[in-house]
Amino acid sequence: MVLSAVLFTSMGGLIKHLGQRLDPIEVVFFRSLFGVIWLLPLIYKAGGLRALKTNHPTMQFSRALLGAMAIIFMFYGLTMIPLADSQAIIFSRPLWMIPLAVIFLAEVVRWRRWTATIVGFCGVLVMVWPGDAMQLGALLIVGNAVCAAAGFTLIKIMTQKGEERLAILCWHTILTTLLSGIPLYLVWISPTLTELLLLVIMGAGLTFAHSCIIRALECGEATAVLPFDYSRLLFAIVIGYFFFAETVNTWTVVGAAIIILSSYYIVRREAALELRDVRKTDST
């Protein structure tokens, strides 16, 4: 999980660097394109186009569209606000999943989790609205968190209906490539050889970072490994300071602390409820 935190934050720094000359849409396109390339061996092993087989195309398209929007929001937002601010706001994703789970999954959420969620949203407001006006970059990162949370909710629904994980991943990656490729001719800037190399590294790094998270969750319980993901904030502060001359203000620290504590409480609360349900099942 620590390695994934290092990779995600480092790739965020690469995105921020590349976005200084290349349009974020172009960076999104290359990130998705290289993601498709990394998936090709898995697609071939799964039988080619059969890897895209689905019984719920509308859900697949909706989830892929939400994922594409989340990536686009994040890539634009990273070019506008400090790296540490963006990482802190991204931690609010679990908060947005609570109301979505109530609406779309009919989950019962009691007052403790609602309270933690409201407190977490206050932390988001602290991050987004520290001055006289809301920050556009911060709002874009909030958009990423909302779209990602909605996408995760759809993934949960589809996996419950028996959809293959590879199909979900393929639909998302391929559709994001197509959607970002449509307006590409309007913003195209030919990348230099160095930038092209960095784009390849970015694609590989993000893919490997996702693999590290999956492996971490296989090795340990979510409540045990999740706190190490919050180390992203420390790495973001270091990278932002040394590579982009960014400093951390009081609002970032306060907002990040509120978001992290409330998110972690929700995860621990859900884990405790799951353990209680398992014990009840075992006793019966």
Confidence at residue 281, expressed as pLDDT on a 0 to 100 scale: 63
Rounded CA-CA distance 152/157 in Å is 9
pLDDT of residue 264: 76
CA distance 66 to 70: 6
Residue 195, pLDDT score: 94
CA distance 163 to 147: 20
If one counts every other C-beta atom within 10 angstroms of the C-beta of residue 172, the result is: 24
**Res 117: pLDDT:** 77
State the pLDDT at residue 219: 76
pLDDT of residue 221: 66
pLDDT for 217: 67
Tokens of 226: 């999740």
- 177 vs 98, 171, 198, CA distance in Å? 29, 10, 18
- State the total domains in the chain: 1
User: Which residues, other chains included, contact 89 with Cβ-Cβ below 8 Å and sequence gap of 6+?
Assistant: 124, 127, 128, 138, 141, 142, 145, 255, 259
pLDDT at position 169: 82
- From 281, 262, 277, select the one nearest 98 (Cα to Cα): 262
Q: How high is the pLDDT of residue 23?
A: 92
Provide the residue range defining the domain that includes 53: 2-283
Residues of the chain falling short of pLDDT 50: none
Contact (CB, 8 A) for 113 and 98: yes
DSSP-assigned letters across all residues of the chain = -HHHHHHHHHHHHHHHHHTTTS-HHHHHHHHHHHHHHHHHHHHHHTTGGGGG--S-HHHHHHHHHHHHHHHHHHHHHHTTS-HHHHHHHHTTHHHHHHHHHHHHS-----HHHHHHHHHHHHHHHHHH-SSSS--HHHHHHHHHHHHHHHHHHHHHHHHHTT--HHHHHHHHHHHHHHHHHTTHHHH--PPPHHHHHHHHHHHHHHHHHHHHHHHHHHHS-HHHHHHHHTTHHHHHHHHHHHHH-----HHHHHHHHHHHHHHHHHHHHHHHHHHHHHHHHHH-
* Nearest to 35, CA basis, from 190, 195, 183, 208: 208
Which residue type does 188 have? Answer: W
Report if pTM > 0.85: no
Q: What distance in Å separates the CA atoms of residue 275 and residue 282, rounded to the nearest whole number?
A: 11
- Residue 73 has a pLDDT of 92
At 233 the pLDDT is: 82
Residue 197 has a pLDDT of: 93
